[in-house]
Amino acid sequence: MKRTFDLLVSLLLLVILSPVILIIAVLIKYKIGSPIFYVQMRPGLNEKPFTLYKFRSMNNQHDIHGRPLPDHLRLTRFGKTLRKLSLDELPQLVNVVKGDLSLVGPRPLLMEYLPLYTKDQARRHLVRPGITGWAQVNGRNSLTWEKKFELDNWYVNNRSFLLDVKILLRTIKKVIRTEGINSSSHVTMSPFKGTVLNEREKQG
C-alpha cells in the first residue's frame, strides 16, 4: 500500500508541478550555471547505494588551491530561496518513482556516515529513506544528530500509513512556515562525526 501510494502521488505531483520544475531549471541555469542538478550517492534501504537528485543551490567557486569554498560562501541568494521553500527537493520525486525513496522515511544521509553510526542509529536503514520524515517535522536541521536519529528510529518502530499521511500534512505546514531549515551555526547541518566523538568533544 505504501509503495502504491508513493508511486501514484509522486507521478501526480510530477505532472502537476512540471511547469514549476521547468522554470526552476531554467532559472538555475541562468543564475547559478551548469549543472542544473546536484547528484550524489546516498545509502538507501538496507544501506544499498542509490543516486539522489536535487536542484543545485550552490555555485562552483573555489579558492586559489582549487578547493571548494565553504557552503555559506557558495550558497547563492536564489539557492537560499530554493532551500527555504524546499523546492530543491522536487527532483527527488523521480527517486520515489524509481523506488529509491519513499515520500516518507528517514532522510538519506552521506555514504561516509555509515561506519559512524551506532548499532541503534543504523536501524534507520531498515526502511526506505524518504523525502520527508518524522525528524523533519519535529525540528529538521535545528535538531542535534542524536535527536534526529532517535526520531528516525521512532518512525521505524511505529510506521504506518496513517502516520505517513500525518507527516506529509505536517511537512506542508513546515514548508509554508519555513521552519527548521538551518542549524544555528551552519548553512544546513554540521557534519556528523559519530556519537562517541561528539560526546568526547562536549566533555573536552
* Confidence class for position 200, pLDDT limits 50, 70, 90: very low
**pTM of the model as a whole:** 0.84
Check residue 87 and give its pLDDT.
Answer: 92
Distances (CA, A) of 117 to 47, 100, 136, 187: 12, 21, 19, 23
pLDDT tens by residue, 77-114? 888 889 888 899 999 999 999 999 999 999 999 999 99
Check residue 198 and give its pLDDT.
Answer: 46
Name residue 29's amino acid.
K
5: which 3 cell numbers? 501510494
* Contact predicate 92/54, CB 8 Å: yes
Check residue 194 and give its pLDDT.
Answer: 86
pLDDT tens by residue, 123-169? 999 999 999 999 999 987 778 899 999 999 999 999 999 999 999 99
On the question of pLDDT at 203 being above 60, the answer is no
SS (H, E, C) the chain: CHHHHHHHHHHHHHHHCHHHHHHHHHHHHHHCCCCCEEEEEEECHHHCEEEEEEECCECCCECCCCCECCHHHHECHHHHHHHHCCHHHCCHHHHHHHCCCEEECCCCCCHHHHHHCCCCHHHHHHCCCEEECCCHHHCHHHCCHHHHHHHHHHHHHHCCHHHHHHHHHHHHHHHHHCCCCCCCCCCCCCCCCCHHHHHHHHHC
* Contact predicate 105/129, CB 8 Å: yes
On the question of pLDDT at 34 being above 90, the answer is no
Check residue 59 and give its pLDDT.
Answer: 75
Check residue 188 and give its pLDDT.
Answer: 60
Tell me how far apart the alpha carbons of residues 51 and 136 are, in angstroms, rounded to a whole number: 21
* Confidence class for position 44, pLDDT limits 50, 70, 90: very high
Q: Which residues, at least 6 apart from 81, have a Cβ–Cβ distance to it below 8 Å?
A: 87
pLDDT tens by residue, 46-78? 999 999 999 998 877 766 776 776 666 778 888
Check residue 185 and give its pLDDT.
Answer: 37
